[in-house]
């Protein structure tokens, strides 16, 4: 047999791994209680980190918000490694809540991307140690342009903290990693501070749900907050309607032609008097005392039905239908004239519900 040093590198790798596999096979595969205890300890450690963070919302935080609010350009977020990942999320949250922001990788900034930052911007730099070489390389150039610098570090005596106009202390009592090496509680604290900045700025700007929806038009939230009744309702000849003196058969023909499961009953000026629905028809059929040939439609309809305005959100129609257990709505104007109609299928097609 060849000495182990003469074996192929792949065999050397296998030889190295096999003892571990054997040891693992002889050890209990899972200690469920230990897994649970570890997870609880991580969450407790990170919760403590955020709890401590709350005590540091002070004048520095207020000044950071002021610099961002007064910024005529954008907030440029930068960081390396895990701080960079957190920075990207902070930039995205700021941008979607009314504060224009984007992320610049500090390594790429040294090779041309620094040109993306202008004198109108504010820079938010993240580094747990405050000594990240890639950041320290570009920050003197940023400072030379007079660009305000906000630093978010875990070391208030670091180089980055000393260069900043404002320093936000996101230091933590301990990392959740038992080795004290992997960024865990520190990244959670930085993320929470970023969220605190974004929401404080959101409220200061008077940012509304409609504003939020305009930056999320493709998502379900955007549809729920932007889509109005007027965007989905049937109009003109597609609105089922009959006059109060119409016969039952005329109402049924109109309901069948328009396919909404109901018809409006209107006066000569198109003002809503009531609605006749599939449910009204079933109730009339179940009542042996009603002569369907002779009874006027006005006696069979539901007077004062639920209605909605064309300027209301489509999600409000869905809520109204759900609350009153109905499947269709008539749309009226300020003078109670019928201008449209919709049913639950229209809301489903619009992906509001």
**Residues of the chain above pLDDT 70, percent:** 86
Binned at pLDDT 50, 70 and 90, residue 220 comes out as low
* Domains 39-207 and 229-349 agree in fold: no
Per CATH, the number for 229-349 is 3.10.580.10
Mean pLDDT across 44-50:
93
The residue whose two tokens read 């405050």 is 130
Say if pTM beats, i.e. exceeds, 0.85: no
Q: Are 212 and 97 in contact (CB under 8 A)?
A: yes
pLDDT at 206 (0 to 100): 85
Asked whether residue 76 carries a pLDDT value surpassing 50, the answer given is yes
Asked whether residue 201 carries a pLDDT value surpassing 90, the answer given is yes
* SS3 sequence of 71-82: CCCCEEEEECHH
Per CATH, the number for 39-207 is 3.40.50.10490
- Which of the two residues, 4 and 239, has the higher pLDDT score? 239
Asked whether residue 3 carries a pLDDT value surpassing 50, the answer given is no
For residues 145 and 148, give the distance between their C-alpha atoms in angstroms, rounded to a whole number.
Answer: 9
What do you get for the CA distance between the two ends of the chain, in Å?
71
- Neighbouring C-beta atoms of residue 264, cutoff 10 Å: 27
- Which of the two residues, 221 and 123, has the higher pLDDT score? 123
116-149 pLDDT, tens per residue?
A: 899 999 999 999 999 999 999 999 889 888 999 9
Give me 323's structure tokens. 């609350």
Mean pLDDT across 285-304:
82
pLDDT at 110 (0 to 100): 81
Map out the domains of the chain as residue ranges. Answer: 39-207, 229-349
Binned at pLDDT 50, 70 and 90, residue 114 comes out as confident
Helices (H), 145-276: 159-163, 185-205, 209-214, 220-226, 229-232, 248-258
pLDDT at 27 (0 to 100): 52
Whole-number average pLDDT of the chain: 86
Asked whether residue 16 carries a pLDDT value surpassing 80, the answer given is no
Q: Are 312 and 336 in contact (CB under 8 A)?
A: no
- Which of the two residues, 25 and 110, has the higher pLDDT score? 110
Mean pLDDT across 167-194:
92
Give me 19's structure tokens. 């003892």
145-167 pLDDT, tens per residue?
A: 899 999 999 999 999 999 999 99
Q: Are 245 and 296 in contact (CB under 8 A)?
A: yes
pLDDT at 218 (0 to 100): 53
- Which of the two residues, 276 and 292, has the higher pLDDT score? 276
267: enclosing H helix or E strand: none
pLDDT at 22 (0 to 100): 40
pLDDT at 29 (0 to 100): 61
Asked whether residue 340 carries a pLDDT value surpassing 60, the answer given is yes
């Amino acid at each position: 047999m060849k000495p182990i040093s003469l074996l192929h590198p792949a065999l050397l790798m296998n030889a190295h791994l096999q003892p571990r596999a054997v040891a693992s096979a002889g050890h209990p595969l899972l200690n469920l209680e230990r897994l649970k205890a570890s997870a609880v300890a991580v969450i407790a450690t990170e919760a403590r980190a955020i709890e401590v963070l709350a005590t540091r919302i002070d004048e520095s935080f207020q000044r950071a918000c002021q610099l961002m609010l007064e910024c005529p350009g954008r907030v440029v977020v930068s960081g390396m490694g895990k701080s960079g990942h957190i920075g990207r999320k902070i930039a995205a949250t700021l941008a979607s809540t009314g504060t224009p922001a984007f992320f610049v990788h500090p390594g790429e900034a040294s090779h041309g991307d620094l040109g993306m930052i202008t004198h109108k911007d504010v820079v938010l730099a993240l580094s747990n140690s405050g000594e990240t070489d890639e950041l320290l390389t570009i920050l003197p150039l940023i400072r030379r342009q007079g660009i305000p610098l906000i630093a978010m570090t875990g070391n208030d005596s670091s180089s980055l903290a000393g260069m900043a106009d404002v320093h936000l202390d996101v230091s933590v009592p301990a990392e959740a990693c038992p080795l004290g090496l992997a960024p865990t509680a520190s990244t959670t604290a930085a993320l929470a501070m970023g969220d605190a900045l974004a929401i404080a700025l959101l409220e200061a700007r008077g940012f509304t749900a409609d504003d939020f929806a305009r930056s999320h038009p493709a998502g379900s939230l955007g549809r729920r907050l932007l889509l109005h009744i007027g965007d989905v309702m049937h109009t003109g000849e597609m609105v089922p309607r009959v006059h109060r003196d119409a016969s039952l058969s005329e109402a049924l023909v109109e309901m069948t032609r328009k396919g909404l499961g109901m018809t409006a009953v209107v006066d000569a000026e198109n003002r809503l008097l009531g609605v006749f629905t599939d449910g009204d028809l079933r109730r009339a059929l179940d009542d042996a005392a009603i002569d369907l040939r002779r009874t006027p439609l006005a006696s069979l309809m539901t007077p004062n039905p639920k209605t909605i305005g064309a300027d209301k959100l489509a999600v409000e129609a869905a809520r109204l239908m759900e609350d009153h257990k109905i499947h269709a709505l008539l749309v009226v104007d300020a003078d109670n004239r019928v201008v449209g109609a919709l049913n639950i299928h229209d809301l489903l097609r619009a992906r509001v519900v």
